[in-house]
Amino acid sequence: MSGTIYDLIPHEEEKQSKPPRYMSKFRQPVKEEYFTHKGDYKTMGQAKVPAPTTDNFLKKHSKEPKLPDKTEFKYPDDDRKRPMVPAKDDKPLMGLKTTKNFITTNAVQTITSVPKKPEKVYVDTIKGDKNLLVPSGLEPVYIHKKEYGTTPQYLTRRQEEMKRAQEEYNAYVAEHFRRGAMQQLTNEERQSILDGLKRNWEEIHDQYQGLSVVTDTAPKKNRKERMEAEMKQLERDIESIERHKVIYIA
């Protein structure tokens, strides 16, 4: 609260005046254009309706299309001059003349021609319906091919490639033998290794047969899985040695 005496004098309340409303300068032209000729003939029709006449009614065939007038058809070349029909005693020219005797020529050609071979057919119905035999697949036409009975080219190429690869491998092995870096197992050593692998497989297999049928504990399950893995590895080793007759050791 201020301590001046002027606060005791009553003051008039000042009212805030609003700014004038915005009015577009195009308001009046737009209004005039909008209301000009709006709704003419909307409900009452035309201002002046012409009176109907007595002859203005729908007549028969009045809506059918009008076709052009019929005219006689004429070909474009009607005006050309056609040749006269030859007389009965005229002998028209027949073109070039020849001295060839067609009867003799046809007779000689027929005598010297090779008779046509009958087509191979087969009958597949009781009514005697015939079908060609060659395209049906029942005739072994492949035996008449030029390359029948010969080795295919791709097999010949494959054999040559295998032979060349074997020669390169033999040369590689001979070079390592010469250097002393590789040794070849003898048949006795190979057979001894093979017999040892088989004996090991049989021993593990006997132990595997003696296992309990129910593997209800972790040690039983682990032992069974370990023995199965050892037998599979021995089987792979035995198969690898039996498949390769020659074994080298580096």
Residue 51's CB: how many other CB atoms inside 10 A?
Answer: 5
- Specify the higher pLDDT residue, 113 or 93: 113
Mean pLDDT of 171-185: 74
**Is the pLDDT at 9 greater than 70, yes or no?**
yes
Give the span between the Cα atoms of 29 and 201, in whole angstroms: 112
Per the domain annotation, does 215 fall within a domain?
yes
Q: How much of the chain, in percent, has pLDDT values that exceed 90?
A: 24
In a domain, 82, yes or no: no
Nearest to 181 by CA among 192, 172, 190, 189: 172
Q: Does the global pTM surpass 0.75? A: no
In a domain, 216, yes or no: yes
| Of the listed ranges 104-113, 122-131, 182-191, the one predicted with least confidence | 182-191
Average pLDDT over all residues of the chain: 84
Backbone φ/ψ region at 180: left (φ over 0), alpha (ψ -120 to 50), beta: left
Helix locations, 69-152, DSSP H: 102-112
**Nearest-angstrom CA–CA distance, 216 and 74:** 112
11 inside domain: no
In a domain? residue 239 = yes
* Residue 49 lies inside a defined structural domain of this protein: no
Cα Dmax for the chain: 161
Answer whether residue 194 is part of any domain: yes
Ranked by mean pLDDT, which of 90-99, 172-181, 240-249 comes out on top? 240-249
Residue-wise pLDDT tens digits, 47-101? 677 787 888 888 888 888 888 888 888 877 777 777 788 888 877 666 677 788 9
- Domain tally for the chain? 1
Question: Has residue 233 been placed in a domain?
Answer: yes
Range of the domain at 225: 182-250
Contact of 198 with 238, CB cutoff 8 Å: yes
At a CB cut-off of 8 Å and minimum separation 6, what does 96 contact? none
Q: Higher pLDDT residue, 132 or 48?
A: 132
pLDDT of residue 44: 64
